Amino acid sequence: MEPIIFRPSLCETILSDPGNPQTDSPLFSIVPAEVRDKIFSYALTDHPDPRPHMQYSKQTYYTRPSCEADQSTDTRLLRTCRAVYRETCFKPFYLREHMRWATAPDRAPPGRSGFFDLRHMLSRIVTQLPVQDKLEIERLRVYVQMYKLEEGVVSCIVPSLLAPRIHTLTFRHTDWWFWEDDEPLRFAGDWIEDVGRSIHWCTKQFCIELESLERKKDQVDKIADHMVKKWYFKRLDGPVLYADASGGGRKESRWSGDSTWDNKRWVRDETEPGRIDYYIVSVTFRSRIDIERSGGTVDRDVIEASQKDWFDPDELKIHLKDESRIEDPSPFEYVGEPPDDTDDSDSEFSDGEIARLHQRWYDSFVAGQE
């Protein structure tokens, strides 16, 4: 049996040769290293691929301002010389906003749903770092459907070798439980402890981004207020991340998108023909010392709750029981040919599974209320 031979990567081969230090170049002999680093970072920051064939269709579940096309990085800078390569070879990976989808396949760009395995690539990169056992990156964004969140998927989606400084969970309009039926927005609380324990020690900001319809602004605001007053994320290494009660960690934004996806035009939710308006709130959790250094405050009740040795999921869950929904027998109209109801091979859930999910959703509302 022939022995397995592991060949060095191109990166390892290039870095093994010290090369020319380029002392005659003003970029290396005059420009300070800190300034040079900013120049290189600017050149190597990722951006939406402008080529027409790389643009996502406007009529999908996943197209939105932060996800309109595949991301692209211009790496020609790395091919100029070894001196530049040595300082920049990891930057494209570090600077990119890495995106993952804990969703059904149709809620993500083609081939991007699920847990595509990064471990082999990450382990090769980490072995090339001088002292690190983790690969630190700037930003990680995870798009999450509620049923995936409550299954505990988020706490294990990030490979152990990946260490983001800013970690964002994004919940889109179509990620909430039974958005099709215009059910009130809600959050369970029993996932928070596990997610907190999975947050890496180098993560300085943990953000939760909430998106829903503009007409559901009050519901989104109530959930965000509850997060600020009740939620905290206790990392495995001890520190606790809180939201700024003074409002410094909260950002609001809006955008408008197409009302048609999956061959359905959601006329119930349109603000004008063909258009739906969305409202977004982002709540950022940081360490208490970082919040107070920037002039913010942390709610006293959430500090006291975080000092306990146990979590109370019922205290952390959010149930907007007084909110109503629009009773509309025809919330959408088909665009093109309607699907064959007898063929559910592409359906995410069977009718029986949907019924069980709906019952679980309802039970989470009434549990502990009696």
Instruction: Report pLDDT digits (tens) over 20-72.
Output: 889 999 999 999 999 999 999 999 999 999 999 999 999 999 999 989 999 99
What number is the average pLDDT over the span 332-344?
A: 69
Same domain, 84 and 140: no
Q: Confidence class of residue 7 from pLDDT cuts 50, 70 and 90?
A: low
In a domain, 350, yes or no: no
Same domain, 46 and 168: no
pLDDT at 224 over 70: yes
Helices (H), the chain: 10-15, 26-29, 33-44, 82-88, 91-95, 119-127, 146-150, 154-157, 192-198, 217-230, 288-293, 300-306, 313-316, 351-366
pLDDT at 344 over 80: no
How confident is the model over 81-97, as pLDDT tens digits? 999 999 998 899 899 99
Q: Confidence class of residue 184 from pLDDT cuts 50, 70 and 90?
A: very high
pLDDT at 130: 54
**Region of poorest pLDDT, from 106-120, 130-144, 184-198, 230-244:** 106-120
pLDDT at 4 over 50: no
Range of the domain at 20: 1-91
In a domain, 223, yes or no: yes
Among residues 125, 186, 111, 114, the alpha carbon closest in space to that of 156 is found at 114
* pLDDT: which is higher, 319 or 121: 319
Same domain, 66 and 121: no
CB-based contacts of 56, cutoff 8 Å, min separation 6: 62, 63, 67, 68, 69, 109
What number is the average pLDDT over the span 313-339?
A: 88
pLDDT at 350: 46
Same domain, 116 and 43: no
pLDDT at 311: 87
pLDDT at 342 over 70: no
Same domain, 85 and 100: no
Q: Cβ of 10: how many Cβ atoms within 10 Å? A: 9
In a domain, 356, yes or no: no
pLDDT at 19: 81
- What is the per-residue burial (b if ≥16 Cβ within 10 Å, else e) of 52-72? eeeebeebbbbbbeebebebe
pLDDT at 232: 97
Same domain, 72 and 176: no
Amino acid of residue 219: Q
How confident is the model over 133-146, as pLDDT tens digits? 667 889 999 999 99
Same domain, 59 and 131: no
Same domain, 130 and 174: yes
pLDDT at 362: 45
Same domain, 232 and 320: yes
Same domain, 167 and 187: yes
pLDDT at 351: 43
Q: Confidence class of residue 356 from pLDDT cuts 50, 70 and 90?
A: low
Same domain, 85 and 103: no
* pLDDT: which is higher, 160 or 302: 302
In a domain, 366, yes or no: no
Same domain, 283 and 153: yes
What number is the average pLDDT over the span 112-125?
A: 59
* pLDDT: which is higher, 342 or 37: 37
Counted domains in the chain: 2
Summary mean pLDDT of the chain? 86
